[in-house]
């Protein structure tokens, strides 16, 4: 939790020392993620051999097992990886620009903002296409982000982590209350939307993936380009300004990156809980605070975690019904969040 | 001359104090007037003098029936539930020493909501008497988990709030999961979750009144202790309070009141957050005035919200909780904008 603070010579040494663990961390987490990915392809009513899974992934023929892999299971696993990575990178950027260990899109109301506009579009303007719903998700995320940043007072770092978190949570509660109101007036669509609100990739298809991957690619590249400014910003606003950084510009670009990544992820998979909050902490605990290392590792960890959460969700509940994968991230995420909260200093 | 000068600030203080003392009676009168005014609002409109006459037993059979069995319980429950929520909000804000905290935030509301929804959906035979019990147990279980998870040589206010956020979020996820699995009753459950005083009768009023009748006076008796706790842990300990013990008792009291209110009215949002805020602006931070003022403001807000909800487009009932959220959300945002 204190990793955001300025580096003293000894921590700088430690940070650099930790940089050497980066290849190991990438290899291990990558292997775990890949294992989850392959397992994910094997789950379903139909038993499919490993050879068929590999063929179905890369070069499907017209046989049924390979088509199942290619059209149903592969998009699901791929979407889980993409959404997990997007939310994790969004969380890393957000924690970087707010200098706040609790700054994450789901805590700050960004996910809820996207969810509210998607809910509105699905219930009120039922004829909208997937692409325009996605644009609305961006608009909602942007609205919430502008608002939260607005009263976090960008440059002054005015709010304590605690106050910012409470404010974000209350804004989230308000947005969800509005959604609940919409549900009551449109009960017939409520149950589908409720599923989407828990968040999950249960209904993934190639169309969704084609729709979001350019955004995610662009957002992730922009996030990587932000690594250097974020490293400087981590020293504090005054120091960053003294070193010649345009702090406000870093924050605005960072905010835009968060909106694009979180908006796209929420637009197709719903407001998945806790991923954006906890993954950056896991990544930082492995490789230190250097954003050049944290950013790619967060993406990889987020992808692995959500692929595994999706695998886990298929073993929960009755066999004939779907369990949203967001349930699993909530169950994993809450204890980690509580652990982080327990590390907080006594002050408010 | 100099003696007068010296006395002047005292007069000013006295004047401000007496004005503050006036707030509570004025709010009380206002709440009574609004109660009477909103008595006949609904799909079967009974206008003002008739509504009171009907309450006293004069007027047509329909009018008497409607006012006595449908309208009166709602007005009374608005007092009990709205007032109770506001007082529990004031207690929790006093204990956590953060004006942004409320039972909504520390997990009580969502815990109660989860238990009640589970009762409603998984055991559809749940009677009207068992539902409040479930909500009560859920609320207490949630705060117990939050307190234990936040405890680390004492439960600091910051940790209580943060852990509450996590527990609320998990409860919320399970609520949604239950709603997904039980599609048929989703409308009932959603209305309950948003908070509504519709279809409550005198039985609920008596139930709620018993709890509130015991817990609210207890809260009032604790007002001086709350003032001391507001000075900070160290100072409170220096003044001879057992801080952690006191915190536990006050939190329990706040949760008890919130659970009793939620059990009857559902999870009415934002009321417990904003009513104590408004009260603090009117009467200051002393709890002997703050608690009664919060109670009356909470009652007023819920009376108005409920009346809007049933009067705006009859016979459609808009749950009162949605109206309180629509009023409370923006007000809260305004507070935040000012506080920064």
Round to whole Å and give the CA distance between B321 and B271. 9
Q: State yes or no: pLDDT of A49 exceeds 90.
A: no
* Residues of chain A with C-beta less than 8 angstroms from the C-beta of B193: 180
Closest residue of chain A to B160, computed from CA coordinates: A341
Q: State yes or no: pLDDT of B308 exceeds 60.
A: yes
**Tokens 């969700």 belong to residue:** A313
Compute the average pLDDT of residues A232-258.
Answer: 86
Are the beta carbons of B34 and B304 closer than 8 angstroms?
yes
A162 in reach of chain B (CB within 8 A): yes
Q: List Cβ neighbours of B337 (8 Å cut-off, separation of 6 or more).
A: A151
Summarised one tens digit per residue, pLDDT across range B132-158 is 778 888 888 988 898 888 887 766 777
* Residues of chain B with C-beta less than 8 angstroms from the C-beta of A327: 173-174, 177
B101 in reach of chain A (CB within 8 A): yes
Show which of residues 268-307 on chain A sit within 8 Å of chain B, judged by CB atoms.
Answer: 273-274
Higher pLDDT, B275 or B21: B275
Are the beta carbons of A302 and A275 closer than 8 angstroms?
yes
Q: Is B287 helix (H, G, I), strand (E, B) or coil?
A: helix
Q: Quick one: CA torsion of B12, B18, B23, B28, rounded to 10 degrees?
A: -170
Interface test with A, best of B165, B167, B320 (most A CBs within 10 A): B165
Interface test with B, best of A164, A180, A309 (most B CBs within 10 A): A180
Round to whole Å and give the CA distance between B312 and B42. 8
Are the beta carbons of B25 and B293 closer than 8 angstroms?
no
Q: Is B125 helix (H, G, I), strand (E, B) or coil?
A: coil
Summarised one tens digit per residue, pLDDT across range A127-169 is 667 677 788 888 888 888 887 766 655 434 455 666 677 778 7
The answer to whether B170 contacts A334, with C-beta atoms less than 8 Å apart, is yes
What is the band of A305 on the pLDDT scale with cuts at 50, 70, 90? very high
Closest residue of chain B to A277, computed from CA coordinates: B166
Query: Which range is least confidently modeled, A63-67, A312-316, B273-277?
Result: A63-67
DSSP state of A103: -
**Tokens 């975690």 belong to residue:** A305
What is the band of B252 on the pLDDT scale with cuts at 50, 70, 90? confident
Angle at A331 between CA B186 and CA A303, to 5 degrees: 110
Distance from CA of residue A44 to its chain's centroid? 26
Are the beta carbons of B187 and A184 closer than 8 angstroms?
yes
CA nearest A173: which of B305, B193, B59, B150?
B193
Q: How far apart are the first and last CA of chain A?
A: 15
* Residues of chain B with C-beta less than 8 angstroms from the C-beta of A330: 169-170, 173
B336 in reach of chain A (CB within 8 A): yes
Quick check: bond before B315 cis, omega within 30?
A: yes
| C-beta atoms surrounding A131 within 10 Å | 11
Are the beta carbons of A9 and A271 closer than 8 angstroms?
no
Q: How far apart are the first and last CA of chain B?
A: 43
**Tokens 């910003």 belong to residue:** A233
Q: State yes or no: pLDDT of B120 exceeds 90.
A: no
The answer to whether B158 contacts A159, with C-beta atoms less than 8 Å apart, is no
Summarised one tens digit per residue, pLDDT across range B265-277 is 888 888 888 899 8
Show which of residues 107-136 on chain A sit within 8 Å of chain B, judged by CB atoms.
Answer: 107
Summarised one tens digit per residue, pLDDT across range A319-331 is 556 788 888 888 8
Q: What is the helix (H) or strand (E) element at residue B266, kind and residue range?
A: none
Round to whole Å and give the CA distance between B137 and A282. 35
Q: What is the DSSP string of A21-70?
A: HHHHHHHHHHHHHHHHHHHHHH-SSS---HHHHHHHHHS--SSHHHHHII
Closest residue of chain B to A161, computed from CA coordinates: B158
* Residues of chain A with C-beta less than 8 angstroms from the C-beta of B98: 162-163, 166, 348
Show which of residues 283-322 on chain B sit within 8 Å of chain A, judged by CB atoms.
Answer: 318-319, 321-322
Summarised one tens digit per residue, pLDDT across range A104-129 is 888 888 888 888 888 888 877 766 67
Kindly state the percentage of chain B with pLDDT values over 90.
Answer: 9
DSSP state of B285: S
Question: Using CA of residue B30, residue B35, residue B41, residue B45, what is the dihedral sign?
Answer: negative
Angle at B156 between CA B155 and CA B162, to 5 degrees: 95
Round to whole Å and give the CA distance between B278 and B99. 11
Q: List Cβ neighbours of A341 (8 Å cut-off, separation of 6 or more).
A: B150, B158, B159, B162, B163, B166
* Residues of chain A with C-beta less than 8 angstroms from the C-beta of B101: 166
What is the band of A8 on the pLDDT scale with cuts at 50, 70, 90? very low
CA nearest A251: which of A163, A169, A114, A153?
A153
Average pLDDT, chain A: 81
């Amino acid at each position: 939790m204190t990793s955001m603070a300025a580096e003293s010579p000894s921590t700088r040494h430690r940070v650099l020392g930790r940089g050497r663990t980066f290849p190991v961390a990438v290899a291990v987490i990558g292997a775990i993620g890949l294992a989850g990915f392959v397992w994910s392809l094997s789950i379903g009513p139909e038993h499919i051999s490993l050879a068929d899974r590999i063929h179905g992934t890369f070069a499907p023929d017209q046989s049924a097992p390979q088509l199942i892999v290619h059209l149903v299971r592969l998009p699901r696993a791929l979407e889980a990886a993409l959404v997990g990575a997007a939310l994790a990178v969004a969380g890393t950027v957000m924690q970087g620009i707010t200098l706040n260990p609790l700054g994450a899109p789901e805590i700050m109301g960004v996910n809820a903002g996207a969810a509210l506009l998607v809910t509105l579009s699905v219930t009120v303007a039922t004829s909208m296409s997937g692409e325009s719903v996605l644009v609305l998700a961006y608009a909602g995320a942007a609205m919430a982000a502008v608002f939260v940043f607005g009263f976090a007072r960008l440059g002054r770092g005015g709010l304590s982590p605690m106050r910012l978190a409470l404010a974000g949570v209350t804004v989230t509660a308000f947005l969800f209350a509005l959604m609940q109101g919409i549900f009551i007036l449109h009960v017939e669509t409520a149950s589908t939307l409720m599923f989407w609100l828990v968040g999950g990739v249960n209904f993934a298809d190639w169309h969704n993936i084609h729709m979001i991957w350019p955004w995610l690619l662009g957002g992730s590249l922009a996030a990587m380009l932000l690594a250097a400014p974020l490293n400087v910003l981590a020293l504090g606003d005054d120091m960053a300004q003294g070193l010649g950084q345009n702090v406000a510009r870093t924050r605005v670009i960072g905010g835009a990156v968060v909106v694009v990544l979180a908006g796209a992820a929420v637009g197709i998979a719903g407001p998945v809980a806790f991923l954006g909050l906890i993954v950056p902490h896991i990544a930082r605990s492995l490789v230190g605070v250097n954003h050049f290392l944290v950013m790619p590792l967060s993406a990889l960890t987020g992808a692995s975690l959500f692929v595994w959460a999706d695998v886990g969700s298929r073993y929960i509940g009755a066999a004939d019904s779907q369990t949203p994968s967001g349930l699993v991230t909530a169950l994993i995420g809450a204890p980690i969040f509580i652990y982080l909260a327990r590390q907080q200093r006594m002050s408010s | 001359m100099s003696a007068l000068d010296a006395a002047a600030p005292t007069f000013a203080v006295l004047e401000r104090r007496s004005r503050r003392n006036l707030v509570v009676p004025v709010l009380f009168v206002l709440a009574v007037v609004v109660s009477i005014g909103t008595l006949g609002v609904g799909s079967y409109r009974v206008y003002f003098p008739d509504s009171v006459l009907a309450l006293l037993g004069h007027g047509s059979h329909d009018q008497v029936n409607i006012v006595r069995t449908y309208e009166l319980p709602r007005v009374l429950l608005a007092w009990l539930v709205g007032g109770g929520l506001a007082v529990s909000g004031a207690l929790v804000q006093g204990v956590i020493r953060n004006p942004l905290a409320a039972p909504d935030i520390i997990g009580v509301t969502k815990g109660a909501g989860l238990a009640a929804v589970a009762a409603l959906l998984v055991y559809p035979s749940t009677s009207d008497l068992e539902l409040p019990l479930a909500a009560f147990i859920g609320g207490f279980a949630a705060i117990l988990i939050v307190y234990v998870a936040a405890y680390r040589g004492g439960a600091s206010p910051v940790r209580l709030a943060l852990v509450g956020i996590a527990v609320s979020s998990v409860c919320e996820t399970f609520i949604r999961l239950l709603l997904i699995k039980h599609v048929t009753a989703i409308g009932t459950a959603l209305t309950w979750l948003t908070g509504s005083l519709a279809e409550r009768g005198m039985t609920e009023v008596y139930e709620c009144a018993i709890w509130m009748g015991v817990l609210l006076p207890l809260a009032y008796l604790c007002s001086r202790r709350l003032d001391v706790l507001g000075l900070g842990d160290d100072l409170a300990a220096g003044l001879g309070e057992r801080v952690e013990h006191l915190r536990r008792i006050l939190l329990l009291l706040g949760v008890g009141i919130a659970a009793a209110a939620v059990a009857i009215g559902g999870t009415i949002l934002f009321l417990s957050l904003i009513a104590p805020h408004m009260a603090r602006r009117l009467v200051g931070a002393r709890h002997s005035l703050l608690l009664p003022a919060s109670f009356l403001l909470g009652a007023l807000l819920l009376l108005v919200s409920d009346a809007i909800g049933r009067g705006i487009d009859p016979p459609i009932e808009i749950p009162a909780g949605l109206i309180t959220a629509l009023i409370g959300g923006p007000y809260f945002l305004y507070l935040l904008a000012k506080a920064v």
